[in-house]
Structures are given as C-alpha cells and as structure tokens.
Amino acid sequence: MAIVKFTFEDKDIQPVTVKDAENGDSILDVAEDNGVHLNHNCGCVCACSTCHVYINEGEDFLAEISDREEDFIDRAINPRLESRLGCQSVLMDTDGDTIIEVEIPDQSQIIGHEH
C-alpha cells in the first residue's frame, strides 16, 4: 500500500490524498478509482499523451519509463523532467510509508474525452 497525493495545476481544485494505493495500480487507476479527473483517450495502451502528469515525489516506486512513453511525453503540453503518463506509471515495491506526489496539469488545456 502507498499514499498518493494528487495536487492540481488548476488551483481551484482541492488536493486529494489516497491512502490505499496498491502495487500494480497505475496512477491513472488510482485517480479513476478515487474520483480524480484525469483525461485519457487511448485506453491505457501508451498511444497518446492525454494522461500526462508530473511525479513530484516517489518516482522510485513506479515502473521504469519506457522509450515509447518518453516519445509520447515529448508530445504532451509543457513536459518537464518529472513528466510521466498516468497509465504507464505503475506502483511497484511500495509499503505503508511510501508517498507518491502527483501533480495533474490543467485538464482544460487537454483535448480529450471527459471520464
């Protein structure tokens, strides 16, 4: 289990803390299961960049980034060094003390389906 703290570039949205994220869950799974809005268009197959997020803490507890994911991050709006795709950021080797801080970019700038 891990704690995932969601913050938002849109400061009108209150932070959300999830205390029961499990190994094998993606950041996108955790967001969807807890009512956190994160666009995603491709069905979680690493074929777009709509679920782009920033991992501000805890990247060591996520699956390693692939070349394919890096290619799609390059197409995201405002990519940074801490950018990942929510669908590809799978929790691994976490325990009760693990904290992962995720910042969700402004979703109004993303052309995507409402989920």
Structural domain boundaries in the chain: 2-107
Average pLDDT over residues 75-94: 95
The third-level CATH classification (topology) of the domain covering 2-107 is: Ubiquitin-like (UB roll) (3.10.20)
Question: Which pTM value belongs to this model?
Answer: 0.92
Neighbours of 98 (CB within 10 A): 19
The predicted pLDDT at position 114 comes to: 52
pLDDT given at position 115: 47
| Mean pLDDT of the 6-31 span | 96
How confident is the model over 7-19, as a mean pLDDT?
Answer: 96
For 29-72, write each residue's pLDDT tens digit. Answer: 999 999 999 999 888 889 899 999 999 999 999 999 999 999 99
